[in-house]
Structure 1
Amino acid sequence: MTEGAVNSGAAEQGWASTTIANPYGSIKLRTTEQGIPLAVKVDAAELHRDPAQLAGEVLRLCQRAAARAGLAKRKQYEEAGMSPEMLARTGLPTEADVARQEIVEEQDYDTEPQSWLRTL
């Protein structure tokens, strides 16, 4: 499956999407606002990792993308004049929620690369 084929399908469906990468740029995802992956790009060096660790990293990136997309949607609603009470009812994350989630992820998971060597 190529990224271009996945992207064109997403565009045809009119889905909003977000792009996210791990800190090293070796894993990149394009997801729906709900965190469902539309395209995945993994550097060859990452394929040497334990499959469970790699899958866990992709899942965490999907969750992070969904949280950030939810935060962006919340900001859109705020700018449109939605009341704080209504915003609270949407269940969309706040900046504090997203920051807290990302700090917990960084503390709970070892996301350092197996090797600093990368193919050029």
Structure 2
Amino acid sequence: MTSSVCSPGGGIEVRTTERGIPVALRLNPGELRASPEELARDILALCRLSAARAQVRRRRRLTAQGFDVAVLRALNLSSEDELAVAEARMRRDDPGGAPRTWTTP
């Protein structure tokens, strides 16, 4: 299972596996103006968010199929709460969460 996510400005898009391994990356040329460290930080944050979204989708499917809570816990999938935190960081609700190169609309 893969998942895709874009930066708030749309300049970076990543597609990852459920565990956050990037399998595709798209960068708008303007994103290359950031320092390598900032760009890497942004890409890594997007990979983590993409993974959390994919894991929560899997958790929901398995729950709907009747899997036991202990089985879900053993899979170490992101929870709804963890996804909410990651989404808040993306929206900059958490001042320390979003990389400095992202802009708020």
With the length of structure 2 as denominator, give the TM-score of the two structures: 0.81
In structure 2, C-alpha distance between the alignment counterparts of 1:37 and 1:77, rounded to whole Å = 24
In structure 1, C-alpha distance between the alignment counterparts of 2:38 and 2:12, rounded to whole Å = 12
Match of 1:112 in 2: 102
What pairs with 1:43-54 in structure 2 (closer than 5 Å)? 43-54=28-39
Highest RCO, 1 vs 2 (Cα 8 Å, sep ≥ 6): 2
The answer to whether the 8 Å contact 2:34/2:101 transfers is: no
Q: Percentage identity across aligned positions?
A: 32
* 68 and 26 in structure 1: CA distance in 2 versus 1, 3 angstrom threshold: same
In structure 1, C-alpha distance between the alignment counterparts of 2:16 and 2:57, rounded to whole Å = 14
Q: Which of the pair has more CA radius of gyration?
A: 1
Match of 1:25 in 2: 10
Q: Which of these residues, 83, 88, 102, is aligned with residue 103 of structure 1?
A: 88
* Range moving further from structure 2, 104-113 or 69-78: 104-113
Match of 2:65 in 1: 80
Question: Structure 2 counterpart of 1:60, which letter?
Answer: A
Gaps of 5+ in 1: 1-15, 114-120
* Range moving further from structure 2, 38-47 or 84-93: 84-93
Structure 1 stretches of 4+ moved >3 Å: none
Match of 2:24 in 1: 39
In structure 2, C-alpha distance between the alignment counterparts of 1:47 and 1:34, rounded to whole Å = 26
Greater share of residues in helix: 1
Question: Structure 1 counterpart of 2:2, which letter?
Answer: S
